[in-house]
Amino acid sequence: MNLKLTERKKYFMAGSTYGNILRITTWGESHGKALGVVVDGCPSGVALSEEDIQVFLDRRKPGQSKFTTQRKESDTVQLLSGIFEGKTTGTPISMIVPNTTQRSSDYSEIASYYRPGHADYTFDEKYGFRDYRGGGRSSGRETVGRVAAGAIAVKILNQLGIALTTYSKEIGGIAIDYNHFNMEEAVLNPFNMPDKQAAEKVELFAKEQMAKGDSVGGIIECVISGVMPGIGEPVFDKLDANLAKAVMSIGAVKGFEMGDGFMAAKATGLTNNDAFVMQGKNIIKKTNHSGGVLGGMSDGADIVFRAAIKPTPSISAIQDTVNKQGENIQVSIKGRHDPMIVPRAVVVVEAMAALTLVDLILENMTSTMDKIAWFYNR
């Protein structure tokens, strides 16, 4: 097919595939018939069921509290391929999640103008038109496929003794107190915060903003323990660089930092460096300012990173914008929207971290000739 550049953009949408060895391709729109993902490169022999995937999708599904969108979706996953007798076969794994409660009429008004904070304008400029029903591919609902794929990656990591702990560190400027840290508490409040007192303060603040027709943002923190040293590549596929790309590809994320992050800019070399010491026969670090990554590779310490999540841009408060006729107008966004994105985004951040880590672990298997010879028993 020989298409001019101006014609090609009408037919192709790049950028829906992530990963080198473990590759995922997500598809679907917020108000289409369904969303889904194809996972390629998954090793055979991983025990996997729809229930394993559903646990993760249930963590992000809408309508779980008054602080999330009231759109009711069961987000029930169907495994279509790549599984036989309860285990992965090594062939592509395809999963689908039907949309069941679309209310596209809620969005008919926004077809004529550009919502502040959304991708309406940029989609029009790039593709010449857009799916205005809930934002199409730029909707947060696009992350359904990421989470389904991430559930597989987490199973692989758990089998290797690697665990991910992800939670809301801060919402609306209200941060958790690590002296009160309790992950059991995170599942008991609607904010995924491992600090009961902080969650109570967030609830009051969120109600105030909701009464004004406004929304709030926050920070998600992820700690990955049990990662062996040497995972990641030293130049373009650095572990921290790939994590940053994976997490920043989530629509609501506006910032990323590893370890001390931007605080490192205020430190000195002496205070920022992590001293090495011997613990028995193992080399460990006294501190972990680096967030578990040195030179783009894991150093054996916990991998620690944070993601900054913006406030939900769809708010009922009056905002200034422009319509397609080039007129200045004021709008109040209608529809079923999250007053805050942070709680439901926790599992999305975890999923992207897991996918990134598994991909680099598989890549690391060919880093030395000894590993290749051992694998093939030569």
User: How many domains does the chain divide into?
Assistant: 1
323 DSSP 8-state letter: B
Which structural domain, as residue segments, surrounds residue 28? 13-375
Tell me, what amino acid is at 191?
A: F
Rounded CA separation 168/192 (Å): 5
Rounded CA separation 55/7 (Å): 42
- In a domain, residue 3? The reply is no
Residue 329 has pLDDT above 70, yes or no: yes
41 DSSP 8-state letter: S
Instruction: Kindly state the percentage of the chain with pLDDT values over 70.
Output: 90
Residue 363 contacts by C-beta under 8 Å, 6 or more apart in sequence?
A: 20, 21, 233, 237
Of residues 19 and 125, the one with the higher pLDDT is 19
- In a domain, residue 8? The reply is no
Do 50 and 152 contact (CB within 8 A), yes or no?
A: no
Q: Note the pLDDT of residue 216.
A: 94
Do 257 and 306 contact (CB within 8 A), yes or no?
A: yes
- In a domain, residue 6? The reply is no
Residue 196 contacts by C-beta under 8 Å, 6 or more apart in sequence?
A: 180, 182, 185, 188, 189
Task: Provide mean pLDDT across the span 310-328.
Answer: 91
- In a domain, residue 155? The reply is yes
Rounded CA separation 48/4 (Å): 44
Residue 269 burial by Cβ neighbours in a 10 Å radius (0-12, 13-18, 19+): exposed
Residue 375 has pLDDT above 60, yes or no: yes
| Residue whose entry in the numeric block shows the structure tokens 């030179």 | 295
Query: Mean pLDDT, the chain, as a whole number?
Result: 90
Q: How confident is the model at residue 333 (pLDDT cuts 50, 70, 90)?
A: confident
Q: How confident is the model at residue 132 (pLDDT cuts 50, 70, 90)?
A: confident
- In a domain, residue 92? The reply is yes
Read off the pTM: 0.91
Task: Provide mean pLDDT across the span 136-142.
Answer: 81
- In a domain, residue 4? The reply is no
- Per-residue CA distances from 239 to 115, 169, 369 (Å): 35, 22, 22
Q: Note the pLDDT of residue 370.
A: 95
Task: Provide mean pLDDT across the span 44-61.
Answer: 94
Rounded CA separation 364/355 (Å): 14
- In a domain, residue 272? The reply is yes
Rounded CA separation 249/349 (Å): 10
Q: Which two tokens stand for residue 167?
A: 């939670």
Rounded CA separation 125/158 (Å): 43
Domain CATH number, residue 307: 3.60.150.10
Tell me, what amino acid is at 89?
A: T
Residue 232 has pLDDT above 50, yes or no: yes
Q: Which two tokens stand for residue 63?
A: 């309508």
pLDDT digits (tens, 9 = 90+) for 244-297: 999 999 999 999 999 999 999 999 999 999 999 999 999 999 999 999 999 999
DSSP 280-312: TTEEEES--TT-SEETTEE-SSPEEEEEEEPPP
Q: Note the pLDDT of residue 71.
A: 58
